[in-house]
Amino acid sequence: MSFTFQKASPTAAVVRIGKALDFRNAAEFKAACQEHARQGIRYYTLDFSGTGILDSTGLGVIFSLYRQLTPAGGQVVFASVSRPVQVVVQLTRTYKVFRQFPTVEAALEAHSASAPAAQVPQRPSDAA
Amino acid sequence: MSDRPHVLVVEDNKTLRRLLEYRLGKVYDVAVAEDGQRALAAVEARAPDLIVSDIMMPVMDGFALLAALRSEPDTQAIPFIFLTAKADDLSRQKGLRKGVDDYLTKPFDVDHLITRVGQIVQRSQVYQSRLTAKIGRDFSDRLLPREMPAEPGYRTVFFSRPKEDGGGDLFDWTRAGDGSYLFTVGDIMGKGLQAKFYAFSFLSYIRSTLHAMLRETVSPARLMQRVNEMLITDAVLEETFASLLLMRWEPDTHRLTYCNAGHCRPILVTPDGPGMVEHSDLILGLDLGTTYEDRALVLPPDSALLCYTDGLNEQVTRSGGMFGEGGVALGAQQALRAEQPVHALLSWLLRRSEKPTFDDDVLVFWLQRQPLHAGDGQASAPATGWRHHSAADHRQPNGA
């Protein structure tokens, strides 16, 4: 287990993902998210600074969290996205769903202002 | 919870219970219970890999415990060793009839018991992992085609080497009524048997959806939209996410129409160099409102389209990073002139890999158009490599 949860407000939490989120710790991550969701956490900032591995199982549990939260008006956002994670996010086009912020502070600020300006990286236009 | 096998000792004699707990505890995670009833509670809390039990005990004896465990599907296969002062044949026979795995009479040699426990635990672990591997292979086999389409002027090569602990890679093709082909390349997120099972269910669904829908549309995007709706609303496949590439191929016009839901982008390999087939939409199963788009390209002569799953780009290189799309593209470029392009690509990657084998499932589909004959602009067969138009290979080891 490399991730840690930290409450930022009664409804928001920051999750430091740590070195890896993959098939080895994905189930633990999911259980921890569900526990926090039960406690009323609706807004999750995933801090990917220093994360070297995000495999498809890891991404899958983030998707599960997203699917669970969005009907209740919740949100999952990414902060300090490391290069290996950025590659996965680009490949799966999930930047279309998860807002990205340069820092955790920026993500939390956006949340408390509740009119967040999304920082969506631009793709190069498609080849003809 | 540790990875060590878990052994439950059921014994009413405190001294013997302590001794066994101490000796077995050097190798296993040991739990203890004083009688059958407490043993059942312990099994419910955590199912052991093996039970060592006395026969004569207060409250519930060993036979009653064994009968209770054998009557429940979840506990009926737990290996069981009886331990008793009763040297008489009647108890021994009764025990064996009820399906104990071994029977030791007191006074017994503790080393002998430890050896027997070790043998039985190992045997059941081997059996379990073989069963898992067999089911995994069975799913993998059913997820892959036996043959490939054969069209003049084209070479279609398919290669797959699933890993037992790999994920749910899938590939399929079907022919539409108008002579075009529809290819499906995908990856169900997750690892192991569960991912393979979902891939199997998912592919069955895609096959029937395509079959039903091909009469009204050959648009990959419309098919993708339908598959996404299914994935999000279907109760069984709930929480299943998949990347998928649907591609329609018209061999007569060399046109490829594709829709990509977050899958590894195909690589177009031309004599001038490789290029990414850029456009992609959101991965399947995430958002009901996702719109999918068809894009088209014409495969030039003497070029190939490479489709694959993430086992290639996530393979670790000798310098410790991943190959990425760029690395795969470089390998594909080397493969364009090879007699066996997929073999050449995989060998190229392995020569530059940290390990001599692939870490994950490998799935590659290679669609190559032959060069135009110089002078008349007509396609013709060069000296080598075009006699075998199609090949489906599941068994090739590592491509090395």
Rg for chain A, CA atoms, rounded: 14
Q: Give the residue from B135, B163, B194 where a domain finishes.
A: B135
CB B38 within 8 A of CB B65: no
Q: Is B165 exposed, middle or buried (0-12, 13-18, 19+ CB in 10 A)?
A: middle
Tell me which amino acid residue B375 is. G
What tokens appear for B209 in the block? 């959806």
Q: State the nearest Cα–Cα gap between A56 and chain B, in angstroms.
A: 5
CA separation for the pair B82, B80 (Å, rounded): 7
Q: How far is residue B246 from each of residues B225, B262, B293, measured CA to CA in Å?
A: 11, 11, 11
Mutation for B interface: A93, A94, A98, most B CBs within 10 A: A93
Per-residue exposure over B60-86, b if at least 16 CB sit within 10 Å of its own CB, e if not: bbbbbbbebbeeeeebeebbbbbbbeb
CA separation for the pair B205, B201 (Å, rounded): 6
Task: Check residue B122 and give its pLDDT.
Answer: 85
* Residue B398 within a domain: no
pLDDT tens string for chain B (400 positions)?
457 889 999 998 899 899 989 999 988 999 999 999 999 999 988 889 999 998 888 888 888 898 898 888 888 888 888 887 756 666 666 766 666 777 777 777 888 888 888 888 888 888 777 777 777 777 777 777 888 999 999 999 999 888 766 678 889 999 988 899 999 999 887 767 777 777 888 888 888 888 888 888 889 999 999 999 888 887 666 677 889 999 999 999 999 999 999 999 999 999 999 999 989 999 998 888 899 999 999 999 999 999 999 889 989 999 988 898 999 999 999 999 999 999 999 999 999 999 999 988 899 999 999 998 754 444 444 434 444 445 665 544 343 3
What tokens appear for B300 in the block? 């030039």
CA separation for the pair A71, A68 (Å, rounded): 7
Residue A12 has pLDDT above 70, yes or no: yes
Q: Where do the domains of chain A lie, and which CATH numbers do they carry?
A: 4-113 (3.30.750.24)
Q: State the nearest Cα–Cα gap between B160 and chain A, in angstroms.
A: 19
Clarify whether residues B119 and B168 are in a common domain.
no
B322 with A124: Cβ contact below 8 A: no
Task: Check residue B387 and give its pLDDT.
Answer: 40
CATH number of domain containing B247:
3.60.40.10
Task: Check residue A24 and give its pLDDT.
Answer: 86
User: Within 10 Å of residue B90's Cβ, how many Cβ atoms?
Assistant: 8
Structural domain count, chain B: 2
Q: Could you tell me what percentage of chain B is helix, strand and coil, using 3-state DSSP and rounding each to the nearest 5?
A: 35, 25, 40
Q: Which domain holds residue B364?
A: 143-393
Of B24, B20, B84, nearest in space to B54 by CA? B84
Clarify whether residues B163 and B98 are in a common domain.
no
User: Within 10 Å of residue B122's Cβ, how many Cβ atoms?
Assistant: 11
Residue A64 has pLDDT above 50, yes or no: yes
CB B50 within 8 A of CB B5: yes
Cβ neighbours for B363, distance < 8 A, ≥ 6 positions apart: B159, B160, B162, B169, B171, B185, B308, B309, B311
Clarify whether residues B294 and B353 are in a common domain.
yes
Contacts of A127 in chain B (CB under 8 A): 275-278
Clarify whether residues B177 and B38 are in a common domain.
no
CB B390 within 8 A of CB B156: yes
Of B220, B222, B228, nearest in space to B202 by CA? B228
B189 with A64: Cβ contact below 8 A: no
How far does Cα B51 stand from its chain's mean position?
32
A94 with B283: Cβ contact below 8 A: yes
A55 with B190: Cβ contact below 8 A: no
B262 with A57: Cβ contact below 8 A: no
Per residue in A25-56, pLDDT tens? Answer: 988 999 999 899 999 999 999 999 999 988 88
Q: Give the residue from B86, B115, B135 where a domain finishes.
A: B135
Contacts of B243 in chain A (CB under 8 A): 92
Clarify whether residues B105 and B148 are in a common domain.
no
Nearest CA in chain A to B260: A92
CA separation for the pair B344, B366 (Å, rounded): 12
Size of chain A in residues: 128
Nearest CA in chain A to B288: A67
3-state DSSP assignment of residue B204: helix
* Residue B399 within a domain: no
B262 with A126: Cβ contact below 8 A: no
**Portion 218-257 of B in contact with A at CB < 8 A:** 239, 241, 243
Strands (E), chain B: 6-10, 29-33, 50-54, 80-84, 102-105, 154-161, 168-175, 181-188, 242-250, 255-261, 267-270, 273-276, 295-298, 303-308, 362-369, 390-393
CA separation for the pair B307, B185 (Å, rounded): 7
Cβ neighbours for A47, distance < 8 A, ≥ 6 positions apart: A14, A15, A16, A17, A79, A80, A104
